[in-house]
Chains A and B, each alone.
Chain A
Amino acid sequence: MGLITILLLVLLAGAILSLLTKTTAQARGVALVSSFGALAISILMYLMYDANFNTVTHYAFEESGTWMPSIGIGYHVGVDGISLPMVILATIVCALCTVFSWTESKRPNQFFALLLLMDLTLIGVFVSLDFFMFYVFWELTLLPMFFLIGIWGGPRKDYSAIKFLIYTHIASVLMMLGIFALYYFHGASTGIYTFDIPTLVNAYKDGILPISQFWLDFIFVTIMFGFMVKMPSVPFHTWLPDAHVEAPTIGSIILAGVLLKMGGYGLFRVLLPMMGVASTWFIYLIALFGLVSILYSPFAALAQKDLKKLVAFSSIGHMGFISLGVAASVLAGMDPARVVAHTGAMFQMFSHGIITCVLFGCCGVIEHHTHTRIIDDLGGLTKKMPKLAILMIVGFFASLGLPLCSGFVAEFGILSGSYHTMPIFVMLAAISIPFTAGYHLWAVQRTMFGPYNEYLGDVKEIKWFEFLPLAIWTIIFVVLGIYPEPIIGMMQTTAEYFLLSGDVLPIGGIHVAAGGAFPW
């Protein structure tokens, strides 16, 4: 039994045990042991990554076994330089979330069980190398989140929870159609019916499927739609602000911090090798989705009156950078720059996951202490909550792309690395920077600075169990902003493998039209 299986079992056992407890303290204790155990295992995996790396399949800690051999479903898990950081991200976020909800008193046993289940399913998505497992975990993530919103959510929780469930579920069903099509076409042509991700994806990439361009495109578009809704990319984003506004703080943190990353992760794991075999203008479509999200989010965020909704829109913009970076890096061009863009896009996933936790955490603390999130009702909170002010200012600056925070490293990589293949896209994306700065600073100014709004009453300073996770997240993104090598190093190796080895993409990238430039 490998480390990944142990990791999943620890969380499963924690979830079941926590459901059986009676009080907050018991449930919390179980959740703490289980989630920090998972964190310890993921850190252990990080330390042992090189030793367990399989240079043939390019995965570490790979385990494969049969499950339902008659229809080609196997138990196949493994991590590489993109999925291991995501596993670490998921365990860090969920472990600190258990600390953050120290005093949860409403149905504590179910709450902590769902939290652990959330952690379990997210990690399941990131480690699965079998489409069936991948899809099952992908769908299972909806359940804990649906209940977290539906039970612990705000006033319009029913509408939001159902909208979240149905919207993302429809996207998943479409994705399933694509996966089934891939499965059947592969089985029909080779006689081997399997859901194994590397096998299917390589078959698609190598062009051994005897199907027309229409079906190639069909598979690509359906799977892409599933990922784009999850990321979410404009115009499929409207479920996200609603879900965030009604979700409890923990729900928002996990939703924005880890759950959205599933879409980005799918882009790397499944879609990347398919690019170029499907119609090449889909690459530009993905970049366009990214660009539109980047330009759309600051304007939408400026209009928001609810602090949490503002932060939700900032996520949409930051996720757009990932699409842009991935799309730009697969086109033919200069290899060092492509690797930088690709690594930047990978790092943006991790970096945004950590930074957004601080932002939503601060929103949650403000809501919990002042009982409002409407920006105009706040003001001068620095007077009552100086510690929160420091965290929030650092977090907001990191989010707007301040250097020496991890977000800048990622965005610099994406912009510099993408310029040679998509100059116009990068120029337009750069325009968003002042607007992004604008809504962040305006929000900080109206909540933290200026005279204190006395109608808020005597607001208490942030509590230790709220402060501690936020401070740790802050330290993580600052340290990674100053020295990103621990995470970026393994990402870069994987990016070089994806882009340059020829196993995943044609060496030197995909040539589009004449001269590698799109005809517009």
Chain B
Amino acid sequence: MSDVATATTALMDFRPYAHWIMLLPMIGFLLELLIGKYWWRKGGMFATLSILGSVIISYGCLYNVYVQHLGFWEYSWDWFYPGIVAGFTIDPLSLAMLCMVSFISFFIHFYAIGYMSHDCAKNVYFAETALFTGSMFGLVLANNLLQLFIFWEMVGVCSYLLIGFWWHKPEAAAAGKKAWMSCAVGDCLFLLGIAMMYTIMVKQGITTEIISFNNIFQNLEHLSHETIFGMSALTIICILFMCGVLGKSAGFPLHVWIPDAMEGPTTVSALIHAATMVTAGVYLIARAFPIFLAAPNALMIVAFMGAFTALYASTLGLVVNDLKRIFAYSTISQLGYMIAILGCGAVLGVAAVAYALFHLVAHAFFKALLFLSSGSVLHGIGNVRDIKEMGGLLKGMPWTGYAMLAGALALIAFPFTAGYYSKDKVIEEAYIYAVHDGGLGYLPWIFLVLGVILTATYTFRAWYLAMTGEPRSYPAIRPHECGFWMKTTLVVLSVFALGLGFLTADWSKGIISGLFSGGAKFWHFLEETFVHETHTASGVVYEGLNLHDIALLGGNTLMEHGAHPPQWVILLPLILMIAGLAIATMVYYKNRVDVSKYVKKDNPLYQILWNKYYLDYIFKDIIAEKIIMTVFTFWDVLDRYVIDGVVNLMSWITIQSGQVSRKLQTGVVQNYATAVIFGVSMLMILVIMLRGGL
């Protein structure tokens, strides 16, 4: 009987097959690229079906760990250099990401079957998104830094290719390059950080699984004594990792690529630049959280950078007119919230990871929904992206309009939507961090709170201008509603954007308490990460970590559980959200205020926002075009005329001396005679001088 039960359990154990989550979409990529063109609808089937396979295995693993309590699992194979492995890890952190990525990626592929139906290179599009999805799974499953970095770059290259999918548009090609370059600046530093981590791990005498996360966590106590240039090695490594995060997760000042990345197909913006790839940076900090915790001051930098980005980007969202770019700035801002709360982990401990991940998952649903519904708008009115040329679309495309409304409500954290539970919790916990740290520690919380009012305003500015009022351009008069594939996806994502909180609520406390405890189950599950043991296929068991001790290594003291912020702190984001919503309603729906008075060329504030704080100008016009262009033009001159000049000079001298000696060969006997006599007499003089004669 127990044998049968064991056999059944073994049969149902999906954890040893976790690598197939990554491999299936890769196979889908190959099939789509090679034979996708000749099958159903000329592309899309292999990619979508292979990702469905990933969905099944991902949720199977979730079932194993969450319902069956089979424990966290890790396995690896030797890869190339000694101690560098290809490893896969299944724990709450990776499961949360896997389930979100597979689910959303599947539905975005489903949507794309309709959205890309008129494109002639459909199979290439689906091949690239399948490769992207597989790489994203590889990133999430990675049990070591190098594998994470490898797939980190792979998702980057897919992002590059998909942004430039319509390669014939010069701006799309330029946007792809800009995305890669912004990330490359961070990535080279990230790689340097990995090299440093490798070095200090080898220094501990570790020969297997050298840069595996769990192995690093076990050795943090020794690693914290290492120094580089007199500073804590861990802090330097964490700062270098943070540079990678700023590139990929669009933190200030490397965020400049995301708005331009909107040149790609909208499904790409939804999949890559809203829901999945850009959260890779947040995932990296979450995955390496104990390292950040053990590194003095590292999490403080994370908190400040995140909170500043959150506020900074939401100010930019106020003035942009491109529908997709508004949501792009909101993505940057929301990623800032996630990074900021991870930084607050210096006080909150692993709970911060849980809060960040819940906001990440909730954000993935509602932001994907917002992008897909704006994709539907673009599809319906002939690729007009300027909200000034929309208006009154709700009548023509109600499904799209209400789906976008659902997403917008979740984004501004309207009560009982997913964002309400995720974002308000982030702000409350940031307050606890502020109280605990005091002084400057209040800054992240203040930034995050101010971001709330701006978020509500710019989100509903976009929704009101696009959906209500009178049509302001010809295409907006007769929009056409999207078809079956797209509509289905919008409905599914709307349900999750509105109801994700209820899904994770703790109903055991009763209906009313349950209503206010959305996210509880999710947080409790995620808080088990790091503190519970991980089993490996090779038999090694990584003990659960004592995060309090690890925090002490970095000079952080974790707070005990159960602190509650005062009631006004809990209500403040709600009030500010309503205020922001009211402003947007007054200005853009009721038209009580004439904004054109302020939106003018001579308004310096508007000018600064419109020019994105001149950051693009500094990067592109000054650094890229002036400085680097000048440097390399100079470099070319150096190469051509100085270094090669020396070479040519030497050959010229040789040739000239050859010319001179050739002139001597005149063939006239007298000349030779003269030369011989001259030479002999010189030789005689020399001999006599040497012998000391004369």
Which residues of A come within 8 Å of B, CB atoms?
163, 166-167, 234-235, 237-239, 296, 299-300, 302-304, 334, 336-337, 339-340, 343-344, 380, 382-383, 393, 397, 402-404, 408-409, 412-413, 415-416, 419-420, 423, 426-427, 430-431, 433-434, 437-438, 441-442, 445, 448-452, 484-485, 488, 492
Contact = CB atoms under 8 A, between A and B. Distances in A.
Contact of A300 (B146, B160, B199, B639): B639
Contact of B639 (A238, A393, A419): A238
B167 A485 contact: no
B616 interface: no
B153 A403 contact: yes
B80 A409 contact: yes
Nearest to B247: A434
Given A337-B198, A449-B168, A434 B181 contact: yes
A445 B192 contact: no
B568 interface: no
Contact of B188 (A340, A382, A431, A445): A431
Contacts of B172: 449
27 contacts: A238-B647, A239-B647, A299-B631, A299-B632, A300-B632, A334-B199, A337-B199, A339-B82, A340-B82, A402-B157, A403-B154, A404-B150, A404-B154, A408-B150, A412-B146, A416-B194, A426-B192, A433-B191, A434-B184, A434-B187, A437-B184, A445-B174, A449-B172, A450-B169, A450-B173, A485-B80, A492-B82
B188 A420 contact: no
Interface in B171-192: 172-174, 176-177, 180-181, 184-185, 187-189, 191-192
A221 to B, nearest CB: 19
Contacts of A238: 639, 643-644, 647
B635 interface: yes
A441 B168 contact: no
Residue in A239, A336, A382, A397 whose Cβ sees the most chain B Cβ within 10 Å = A336
B78 to A, nearest CB: 8
Contacts of B188: 430-431, 433-434
Contact of B207 (A237, A336, A441): A336
Given A167-B647, A433-B187, A450 B170 contact: yes
A401 B616 CA distance: 27
A299 B628 CA distance: 8
B164 interface: yes
Contacts of A302: 628, 632, 635
Contact of B82 (A166, A336, A441, A449): A336
Contacts of B174: 445
B177 A441 contact: yes
Contacts of A343: 81
Residue in B81, B168, B187 whose Cβ sees the most chain A Cβ within 10 Å = B81
Nearest to B166: A449
B611 interface: no
Contacts of A412: 146, 191
A289 to B, nearest CB: 14
Given A449-B167, A485-B80, A416 B195 contact: yes
B222 interface: no
Contacts of A166: 651
Contact of A334 (B154, B157, B187, B202): B202
B83 interface: yes
A333 to B, nearest CB: 9
A415 B81 contact: no
A492 B83 CA distance: 13
Contact of B192 (A427, A441, A485): A427
Contacts of A383: 168
Contact of B195 (A235, A336, A426, A437): A426
Nearest to A423: B228
Nearest to B644: A238
A397 B157 contact: yes
Nearest to A338: B202
A166 B653 CA distance: 14
A296 B170 CA distance: 29
Contact of B199 (A419, A434, A445): A419
B196 interface: yes
A449 B173 contact: yes
Contacts of B177: 441-442, 445
A235 B643 CA distance: 7
A383 B187 CA distance: 32
A343 B81 CA distance: 8
Nearest to A298: B632
A192 to B, nearest CB: 38
Contacts of A408: 150, 153
A427 B243 CA distance: 14
Nearest to A241: B639
B173 A420 contact: no
Contact of B149 (A337, A393, A403): A403
B433 to A, nearest CB: 33
Contacts of A448: 167
B203 interface: yes
B636 interface: yes
Contacts of A334: 199, 202-203
A441 B163 CA distance: 14
Nearest to B198: A416
Contacts of B207: 336
Contacts of B82: 336, 339-340, 492
A437 B192 CA distance: 16
Given A163-B647, A450-B167, 18 more contacts: A238-B644, A299-B631, A302-B628, A336-B82, A337-B198, A380-B168, A382-B167, A404-B150, A412-B146, A416-B198, A419-B195, A419-B199, A430-B192, A433-B184, A433-B187, A434-B188, A438-B184, A492-B81
A437 B199 contact: no
Nearest to A436: B184
Contacts of A382: 167-168
Interface string B233-252: 00000000000000000000
A336 B639 CA distance: 38
Contacts of B199: 334, 337, 416, 419-420
Given A300-B632, A302-B632, A430 B146 contact: no
Nearest to A380: B168
Nearest to B186: A434
Contacts of A492: 81-82
Contacts of A397: 157
A396 B3 CA distance: 55
Interface in B487-517: none
A434 B164 contact: no
Residue in A167, A412, A488 whose Cβ sees the most chain B Cβ within 10 Å = A412
Interface in B602-642: 628, 631-633, 635-636, 639
Contacts of B150: 403-404, 408
Contacts of A431: 188
Interface string B631-672: 111011001000110010001000000000000000000000
A146 to B, nearest CB: 16
A80 B542 CA distance: 40
Contacts of B195: 415-416, 419, 426, 430
A303 B81 contact: no
Nearest to B643: A235
Contacts of A239: 647
Nearest to A488: B80
Residue in B160, B172, B181, B195 whose Cβ sees the most chain A Cβ within 10 Å = B195
Nearest to B135: A404
6 cross-chain pairs, A with B, having the tightest CB-CB distances, nearest first: A303-B636, A449-B173, A403-B150, A433-B188, A238-B644, A434-B184
Contacts of B192: 415, 426-427, 430
B120 to A, nearest CB: 11
A235 to B, nearest CB: 5
Nearest to B639: A300
Residue in A239, A380, A403 whose Cβ sees the most chain B Cβ within 10 Å = A403
Residue in A431, A445, A448 whose Cβ sees the most chain B Cβ within 10 Å = A445
B127 to A, nearest CB: 11
